[in-house]
């Protein structure tokens, strides 16, 4: 419950400042759960479809999060194979390249509350609402790509609002504007910012801290190879993959691409 409570504190702030609504959070949750509903490999395969109303009707866990706003738990494992470019070119599968990456920390795991009104000492740009921004900026500079270049966003999804928080922290929209992206379908598999296309932690799998981070990268690789069994984004060339946790106190960013850097 401590993790749900900490992320709930984070979600409450934009509700107060910008008018973010439970319906916006529910639209995010329904989108991601429906991505799992159509994924044959997902734990939630065939358990939907879900509507925002279904999310809001599920029991309250930590206000404003209902049960279906929250990640599930499961068992499982995953692995990645990394190789030098010259070796990868001789392997049977299409290589996907690491274009850039970064990480951003707002404090030691679970030692501090997720405060949005005070920056970390020495980092006036960093609060719990903006953690991950520097990681995105570092990764995008290294990769020489911008927001318009991103074809698919495999975002860490422990709770519905974390998707909206990351979109704002990374600059895909202005603060307070992310909720409208959820309501207008922009985050769906056919939208301009398709997020967490396999169902993520909410409905694909949530098997532990190491697995949940690699899972986003693996899905990003599948999208760029064109091998997804569901919700394949046509012509995807650049994927943004994220990880994080500890009550929204850190965020990792990795950019993948089909073109050799």
Q: How many CB atoms are closer than 10 A to CB 208?
A: 13
CATH number of the domain to which 31 belongs = 3.40.47.10
Nearest CA to 248 among 121, 156, 119? 156
- Host domain of residue 249: 2-257
Whole-number percent of the chain with pLDDT over 90? 74
pLDDT of residue 76: 87
Question: How many domains does the chain fold into?
Answer: 1
Q: Which residue has the tokens 């996907």?
A: 96
HEC string for the chain: CHHHHHHHHHHHHHHHHHCCCHHHHHHHHHHHHHHHHCCCCCCCCCCCCCCHHHHHHCCEEECCEEHHHECCCCCCCCCCCCCCHHHHCCCCCCCCEEEEEEEEECCCCCCCCCCCCCCECCECCCCCCCCCHHHHHHHHHHHCCCHHHCCEEECCCCEHHHHHHHHHHCCCCCCCCHHHHHHCCCCCCCCCCCECCCCHHHHHCCCCHHHHHHHHHHHHHHHHHCCCCCCCCCCCCEEEEEEEECCCCEEEEEEEECCCC
pTM, 2 dp: 0.94
At residue 158 the predicted structure's pLDDT band, cuts being 50, 70 and 90, is: very high
pLDDT band at 122 (very low <50, low <70, confident <90, very high): low
Q: Pseudo-torsion of CA 138, 12, 157, 29, nearest 10°?
A: -140
Beta strands across the sheet bearing 97-105: 97-105, 250-257, 238-245, 152-154
Read off the pLDDT of each residue in 150-178 and give the average, rounded to a whole number: 96
How confident is the model over 12-40, as pLDDT tens digits? Answer: 989 999 999 999 999 999 999 999 999 99
- Which token pair is 43? 């734990």
User: Residue 21 in contact with residue 15, Cβ under 8 Å?
Assistant: yes
């Amino acid at each position: 419950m401590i993790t749900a409570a900490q992320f709930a504190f984070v979600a409450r702030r934009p509700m107060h400042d910008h008018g973010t609504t439970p319906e916006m959070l529910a639209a995010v949750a329904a989108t991601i759960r429906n991505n799992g509903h159509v994924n044959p490999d997902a734990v939630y395969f065939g358990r939907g479809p879900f509507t925002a109303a279904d999310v809001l009707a599920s029991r309250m866990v930590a206000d404003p999060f209902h049960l279906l706003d929250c990640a599930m738990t499961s068992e499982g494992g995953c692995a990645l194979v990394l190789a030098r470019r010259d070796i990868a070119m001789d392997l049977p599968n299409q290589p996907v390249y690491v274009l850039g990456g970064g990480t951003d920390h707002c404090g030691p795991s679970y030692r501090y509350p997720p405060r949005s009104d005070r920056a970390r000492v020495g980092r006036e740009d960093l609060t719990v609402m903006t953690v991950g921004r520097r990681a995105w900026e570092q990764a995008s500079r290294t990769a020489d790509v911008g927001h318009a270049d991103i074809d698919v966003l495999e975002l860490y999804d422990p709770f519905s609002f974390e998707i909206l928080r990351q979109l704002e922290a990374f600059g895909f929209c202005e603060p307070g504007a992310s909720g409208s992206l959820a309501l207008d379908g922009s985050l769906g598999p056919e939208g301009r910012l398709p997020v967490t296309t396999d169902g993520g932690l909410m409905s694909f799998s949530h098997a532990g801290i190491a697995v949940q981070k690699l899972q986003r990268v693996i899905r990003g690789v599948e999208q760029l190879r064109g091998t997804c069994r569901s919700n394949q984004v046509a012509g995807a060339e650049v994927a943004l993959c994220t990880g994080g946790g500890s009550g929204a106190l850190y965020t990792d960013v990795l950019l993948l691409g089909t073109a050799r850097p």
